[in-house]
């Protein structure tokens, strides 16, 4: 398949995954904003979220204060803000449009109608009730897109590059969400106590892990247990281990003459997560581990780009 | 000037013609609101599927629907048979002409066409002189625009031999009609057209360089911002071939390769949807980012086929158009089955004098214009517009031809919640390879504004499904 086509497919799925991650984030904060007495926690959580997304500066160009409504709109429907959900959906659709011939018509139509509807919602301006509806809708569209991808696409290279995009984005997202709460994960922090149960349940909900946590851990939510589940559990769809495993397996299916080293990197990341224990990571320092991991994921993405996606100057 | 056009559906007495009778019966049985409802449904579907075209000169990324009309244009079997023979004949002659002028130039030596008309034409490519192309075919895909005059005669208005577009709308319109009105298809014997991509692919494979057993065909597009991008993506997908941009290919040792995730892959046939000027920056426009440096070297070495060939524009130029009937006589020894529209060539002083005296009645076109741009429709123009155009003609008469204002035939069209007659034309697609093949029908374009004669999509035209009935009804 054409390198350019693979590149578009990879970014198409990254942007859809990113839109879903943003929707999950907004969703949990939005729920929090409807509760009484949560405003201090909410503001703190919103601030660390903006910082984890590297969009704090962009936000403050528009708004002086961290206000929930303003943050929600900024992250979801703001067409001027390049990293908003609406613009992620646009980017996903533009990438899909560039390679629509390589997609099943169902997948193309799903992405196209998602964008058409998002654009019309964004142009109408949103009321508070709409934001809740909109992010619910974004999650549904992302589920639908994933379902259509898995349900209709041939299991060929196009599919594998789509999946690589999805899981790299997801791994990056999970690592950043954990990093945003790094102060609770520092070695000095008391692992047994709960710094702020609500913030950690917000995180769990953002990653669709709240019910799962309840099933695998009895008792209170502790940062270390959450970190364990989101880093090392193989059966947890958004955990770093699961994401790395998927990236590695899909990468093996598209291997070419120059990709051996990239495959080795992906395999090493997977093996490290597979064989390590949470105690090892605590000893290393969880924040330090997460920062290293985020860096490695980004370097892996760059390697994949140069091996497969960006065509070398001569053949 | 009073035009009295031929109506495709209704005869002079307002009664449906024989081949439209069944449709007419069905139409009369439809509840008042159903058509409006079906039309809205069609619009929504086209938007969702993304069957759009980009509009030049509008904000970047602006995409619009080509309006689709739900009343089909129906051609009876006998009329189509005649059209089909005429189109095959004309395309054969045009290909023979292209081969001739890029080789011995018999037709110029015989004085049938003035040599300067061809050799001084900007579309004539000296790079093609003496080059043999597979099968001697230059125009592999031709879109021949056909109109019907007030006497009910078909005439060729224009030949499109460079990168004719519109076939995807032909195919999507049929899909849409079958989805909206399945009952009409069980009640009629309508010739199928959805095998077009297969025929096109076979045709392209048949002109691969000699010795290539299993040729790799690609479709070369200018990219997602090109007005016909939907069609490029659609055809590539339907044929199962790669949709490539210039940057995806490179030339090494006189062979063309595309860059894939598994390394370079050889390309044998390029169905190109960009103009000659942009194909190879080393030979044509040096600023072109759309082409492939060195492509012409590979082409001249016979290592890759380009379809349509380079330099076909010299045969579809409006200044050469008036000579096509002569080409048919010269190369095939036959009388043209479909005639031309009467054309004045303004480089001839007597034609120029006539046209300037009758400007308000005529249509004047730029010789190299396309898409309905740079055109004067005399009867629809104000005195000021006529005066301005007259000045342009006098300044450079060679650039123009003139034709009578044709009473293009009309077809009932759903406009403003009711059916009214609107002018139409027809673009059938003629494929030439080892054989000539034409899927029945073509793209019917319709001028949606009452009285308008401009059917181009860039000028507010729409399209209709085109039915060729399989046997006499």
Is A188 touching B (CB cutoff 8 A)? no
Q: What is the DSSP string of B86-142?
A: HHHHHHHHHHHHHHHHTTT-HHHHTTSS-HHHHHTSTT--GGGTT---GGG-S-SEE
Is B239 touching A (CB cutoff 8 A)? no
Please say if the pLDDT value at position A194 is more than 80. Answer: no
Closest-CA residue of chain A to B244:
A2
Confidence class for position A208, pLDDT limits 50, 70, 90: confident
**Tell me, what's the pLDDT at A181?**
78
Confidence class for position B302, pLDDT limits 50, 70, 90: very high
Identify whether the C-beta of residue A266 lies closer than 8 Å to the C-beta of residue A247: yes
- Beta strand spans in B166-294 (E): 217-220, 242-244, 249-252, 255-260, 263-267, 269-272
Identify whether the C-beta of residue B235 lies closer than 8 Å to the C-beta of residue B168: yes
Mutation site for A-interface testing, chosen from B50, B223, B255, B273 by largest number of A Cβ within 10 Å: B50
Are B242 and A4 an interchain contact pair (Cβ–Cβ within 8 Å)? Answer: no
Are B224 and A311 an interchain contact pair (Cβ–Cβ within 8 Å)? Answer: no
Are B245 and A4 an interchain contact pair (Cβ–Cβ within 8 Å)? Answer: yes
Closest-CA residue of chain A to B61:
A94
Is B50 touching A (CB cutoff 8 A)? yes
Identify whether the C-beta of residue B308 lies closer than 8 Å to the C-beta of residue B138: yes
Mean pLDDT is lowest, of A33-37, A69-73, A145-149, for A33-37
Backbone angles phi, psi at A141, to 5 degrees: -65, -35
Kindly state the average pLDDT of the residues B409-416: 90
SS3 A103: coil
pLDDT tens digits for B341-400?
Answer: 999 999 899 999 999 999 999 999 988 765 566 788 888 899 999 999 999 999 999 889
Which of A100, A112, A257 lies at the smallest CB-CB distance from B48? A112
Are B264 and A315 an interchain contact pair (Cβ–Cβ within 8 Å)? Answer: yes
Output the pTM of the full model.
0.85
Beta-bridged to residue B181, according to DSSP, are: none
Residues of B in contact with A4 (CB under 8 A): 245, 247-248, 259
Confidence class for position B53, pLDDT limits 50, 70, 90: low
Backbone angles phi, psi at B130, to 5 degrees: 80, 0
pLDDT tens digits for B164-191?
Answer: 999 999 999 999 999 999 999 988 899 9
The percent of residues in chain A predicted with pLDDT above 90, rounded, is 58
- Is B95 within a domain? yes
Residues of B in contact with A309 (CB under 8 A): 261
Kindly state the average pLDDT of the residues B204-213: 94
> What's the gap in Å between the CA of A56 and the closest CA on chain B?
29
Is A112 touching B (CB cutoff 8 A)? yes
**Tell me, what's the pLDDT at B336?**
98
Please say if the pLDDT value at position B297 is more than 60. Answer: yes
Q: In terms of C-beta distances under 8 Å and separation of at least 24 residues, what long-range contacts does A269-272 make, across chains too?
A: A269/A244, A269/A293, A269/A296, A269/A297, A269/A300, A270/A241, A270/A244, A270/A245
Identify whether the C-beta of residue A260 lies closer than 8 Å to the C-beta of residue A268: no
How many angstroms separate the CA atoms of B72 and B177, rounded?
A: 8
pLDDT tens digits for B216-233?
Answer: 999 999 998 888 898 999
Q: What ipTM is given for this predicted complex?
A: 0.75
Closest-CA residue of chain B to A257:
B262
- Is B270 within a domain? yes
Which of A102, A116, A309 lies at the smallest CB-CB distance from B47? A116
**Tell me, what's the pLDDT at B55?**
56
Please say if the pLDDT value at position B49 is more than 70. Answer: yes
Please say if the pLDDT value at position B60 is more than 50. Answer: no
**Tell me, what's the pLDDT at B306?**
97
Which of A3, A4, A100 lies at the smallest CB-CB distance from B233? A100
**Tell me, what's the pLDDT at B86?**
98
Kindly state the average pLDDT of the residues B294-316: 96
How many angstroms separate the CA atoms of B102 and B125, rounded?
A: 9
Confidence class for position A126, pLDDT limits 50, 70, 90: low
**Tell me, what's the pLDDT at B57?**
47
Would you give the distance in Å from CA A211 to the centre of its chain?
19
pLDDT tens digits for B422-444?
Answer: 999 999 999 999 899 999 999 99
Is B179 touching A (CB cutoff 8 A)? no
Which of A109, A256, A315 lies at the smallest CB-CB distance from B257? A315
Backbone angles phi, psi at A108, to 5 degrees: -60, -45
Mutation site for B-interface testing, chosen from A2, A11, A114, A162 by largest number of B Cβ within 10 Å: A2
Per-chain mean pLDDT for chain B: 91
The percent of residues in chain B predicted with pLDDT above 70, rounded, is 95
Per-chain mean pLDDT for chain A: 88
**Tell me, what's the pLDDT at B61?**
46
pLDDT tens digits for A250-291?
Answer: 999 999 988 999 999 999 999 999 999 999 999 999 999 999
Please say if the pLDDT value at position A134 is more than 70. Answer: yes
Most confidently modeled range among A184-188, B4-8, B89-93, B379-383: B89-93
pLDDT tens digits for B281-292?
Answer: 998 888 888 999
User: A149-171 as b/e, with b when 16 or more CB fall inside 10 Å?
Assistant: beeebeeebbbbbbbbbbbbbbb
Kindly state the average pLDDT of the residues B307-332: 95
Closest-CA residue of chain A to B257:
A315
Which of B234, B237, B244 lies at the smallest CB-CB distance from A2? B244
How many angstroms separate the CA atoms of A31 and A288, rounded?
A: 31
**Which of A172, A199, A184 minimizes the C-alpha distance to A46?**
A199
Are A4 and B259 an interchain contact pair (Cβ–Cβ within 8 Å)? Answer: yes
Residues of A in contact with B47 (CB under 8 A): 116
Backbone angles phi, psi at B69, to 5 degrees: -105, 140
Is B225 touching A (CB cutoff 8 A)? no
SS3 A92: helix
> What's the gap in Å between the CA of A33 and the closest CA on chain B?
35
Sign of the alpha-carbon torsion through B21, B22, B23, B25: positive
- Is B356 within a domain? no
Is B171 touching A (CB cutoff 8 A)? no
> What's the gap in Å between the CA of B47 and the closest CA on chain A?
8
The secondary structure of B354-407, three-state, reads HHHHCHHHEEEEECCCCCCCCEEEHHHCCHHHHHHHHHHHHHCHHHEEEEECCC
Distances (CA, A) of A100 to A10, A112, A169, A223, B119: 13, 10, 22, 43, 41
Residues of A in contact with B224 (CB under 8 A): 94, 97-98
- Is B358 within a domain? no
Tell me the longest C-alpha to C-alpha distance in chain B: 69
SS3 A210: helix
Residues 255-284 of A with CB under 8 A from B: 256-257
**Tell me, what's the pLDDT at A314?**
40
Confidence class for position A192, pLDDT limits 50, 70, 90: low
Kindly state the average pLDDT of the residues A72-87: 91
pLDDT tens digits for A4-38?
Answer: 999 999 999 999 999 999 998 888 788 778 777 67
Is B234 touching A (CB cutoff 8 A)? yes
More confident residue, B367 or B261: B261
Mutation site for B-interface testing, chosen from A10, A87, A96, A100 by largest number of B Cβ within 10 Å: A100
Closest-CA residue of chain B to A311:
B259
> What's the gap in Å between the CA of A259 and the closest CA on chain B?
10
> What's the gap in Å between the CA of B470 and the closest CA on chain A?
31
Kindly state the average pLDDT of the residues B119-144: 95
- Is B417 within a domain? yes
For residue B73, the surrounding DSSP H or E stretch is: strand B68-75
Structural domain for B145, as ranges: 18-341+406-468
Are B258 and A5 an interchain contact pair (Cβ–Cβ within 8 Å)? Answer: no
**Tell me, what's the pLDDT at A188?**
66
Residues of A in contact with B264 (CB under 8 A): 315
The percent of residues in chain B predicted with pLDDT above 90, rounded, is 74
How many angstroms separate the CA atoms of A29 and A50, rounded?
A: 12
Mean pLDDT is lowest, of A62-76, A199-213, B387-401, for A199-213
- Is B214 within a domain? yes
- Is B176 within a domain? yes
The percent of residues in chain A predicted with pLDDT above 70, rounded, is 93
Identify whether the C-beta of residue B310 lies closer than 8 Å to the C-beta of residue B296: yes
Residues 256-275 of B with CB under 8 A from A: 257-264
> What's the gap in Å between the CA of B181 and the closest CA on chain A?
22
Which of B48, B237, B250 lies at the smallest CB-CB distance from A315? B250
- Is B380 within a domain? no
How many domains are contained in chain B?
A: 1
């Amino acid at each position: 398949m054409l390198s350019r086509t693979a590149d578009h497919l990879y970014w198409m799925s990254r942007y859809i995954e990113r839109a879903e991650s943003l929707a999950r984030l907004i969703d949990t904060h939005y729920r929090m904003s409807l509760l009484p007495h949560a405003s201090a926690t909410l503001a703190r959580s919103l601030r660390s979220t903006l910082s984890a997304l590297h969009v704090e500066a962009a936000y403050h160009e528009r708004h002086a204060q961290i206000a929930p409504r303003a943050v929600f709109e900024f992250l979801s429907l703001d067409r001027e803000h390049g990293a908003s959900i609406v613009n992620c959906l646009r980017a996903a659709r533009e990438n899909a449009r560039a390679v629509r011939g390589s997609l099943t018509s169902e997948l193309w139509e799903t992405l196209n109608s998602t964008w058409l509807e998002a654009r019309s919602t964004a142009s109408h301006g949103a009321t508070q009730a709409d934001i809740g509806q909109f992010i619910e809708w974004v999650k549904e569209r992302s589920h639908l897109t994933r379902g259509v991808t898995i349900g209709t696409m041939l299991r060929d290279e196009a599919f594998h590059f789509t999946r690589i995009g999805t899981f790299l984005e997801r791994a990056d997202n999970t690592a950043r969400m954990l990093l945003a709460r790094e102060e609770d994960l520092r070695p000095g922090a008391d692992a047994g106590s709960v710094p702020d149960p609500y913030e950690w349940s917000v995180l769990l909900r953002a990653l669709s892990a709240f019910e799962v946590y309840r099933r695998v851990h009895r008792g209170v939510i502790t940062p270390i247990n959450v970190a364990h589940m989101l880093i090392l559990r193989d059966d947890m769809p958004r955990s770093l281990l699961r994401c790395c495993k998927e990236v590695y397996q899909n990468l093996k299916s598209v291997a070419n003459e120059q990709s051996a080293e990239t495959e080795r990197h992906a395999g090493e990341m997977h093996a490290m997560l597979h064989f390590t224990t949470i105690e090892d990571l605590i000893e290393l320092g969880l924040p330090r581990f997460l920062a290293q991991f985020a860096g490695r994921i980004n370097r892996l993405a760059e390697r994949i780009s140069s091996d497969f996606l960006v065509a070398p100057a001569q053949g | 000037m009073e035009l009295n056009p031929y109506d495709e559906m209704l005869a002079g007495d307002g009664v449906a013609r024989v081949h439209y009778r069944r449709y007419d019966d069905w139409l009369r049985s439809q509840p008042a609101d159903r058509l409006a409802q079906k039309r809205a449904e069609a619009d929504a579907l086209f938007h969702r599927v993304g069957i759009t075209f980009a509009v030049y000169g509008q904000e970047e990324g602006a995409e619009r629907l080509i309006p689709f009309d739900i009343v089909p244009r129906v051609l009876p079997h006998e009329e189509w048979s005649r059209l089909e023979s005429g189109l095959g004949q004309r395309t054969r002659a045009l290909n023979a002409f292209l081969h001739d002028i890029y080789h011995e130039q018999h037709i110029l030596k015989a004085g049938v066409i003035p040599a300067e008309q061809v050799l001084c034409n900007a579309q004539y490519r000296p790079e093609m002189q003496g080059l043999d192309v597979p099968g001697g075919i230059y125009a592999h895909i031709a879109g021949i625009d056909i109109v019907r005059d007030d006497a009910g005669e078909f005439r060729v208005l224009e030949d499109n031999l460079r990168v004719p577009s519109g076939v995807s709308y032909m195919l999507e319109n049929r899909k849409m009609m079958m989805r909206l009105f399945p009952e009409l298809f069980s009640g009629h014997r309508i010739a199928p057209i959805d095998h077009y991509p297969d025929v096109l692919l076979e045709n392209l494979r048949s002109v691969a360089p000699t010795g290539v057993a299993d040729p790799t065909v690609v479709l070369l597009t200018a990219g997602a911002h090109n007005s016909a991008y939907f069609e490029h993506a659609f055809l590539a997908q339907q044929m199962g071939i790669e949709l490539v941009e210039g940057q995806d290919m490179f030339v090494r040792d006189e062979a063309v390769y595309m860059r894939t995730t598994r390394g370079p892959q050889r390309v044998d046939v390029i169905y190109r949807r960009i103009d000659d000027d942009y194909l190879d920056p080393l030979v044509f426009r040096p600023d072109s980012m759309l082409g492939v440096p060195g492509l012409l070297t590979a082409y001249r070495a016979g290592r890759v086929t380009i379809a349509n060939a380079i330099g076909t524009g010299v045969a579809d130029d409006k200044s050469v158009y008036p000579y096509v009937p002569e080409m048919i006589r010269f190369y095939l020894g036959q009388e043209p089955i479909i005639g031309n529209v009467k054309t004045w060539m303004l480089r001839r002083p007597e034609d120029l004098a006539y046209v300037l005296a009758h400007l308000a009645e005529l249509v004047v076109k730029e010789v190299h214009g396309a898409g309905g741009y740079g055109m004067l429709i005399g009867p629809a123009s104000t005195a000021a517009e006529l005066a301005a155009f007259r000045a342009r003609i006098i300044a450079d008469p060679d650039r123009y031809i003139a034709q009578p204002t044709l009473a293009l035939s009309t077809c009932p069209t759903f406009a403003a919640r009711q059916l009214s007659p609107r002018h139409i034309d027809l673009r059938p697609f003629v494929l030439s390879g080892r054989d000539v093949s034409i899927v029945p029908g073509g793209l019917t374009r319709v001028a949606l504004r009452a009285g308008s004669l401009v059917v181009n999509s860039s000028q507010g035209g729409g399209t209709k499904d085109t039915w060729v009935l399989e046997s006499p009804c």
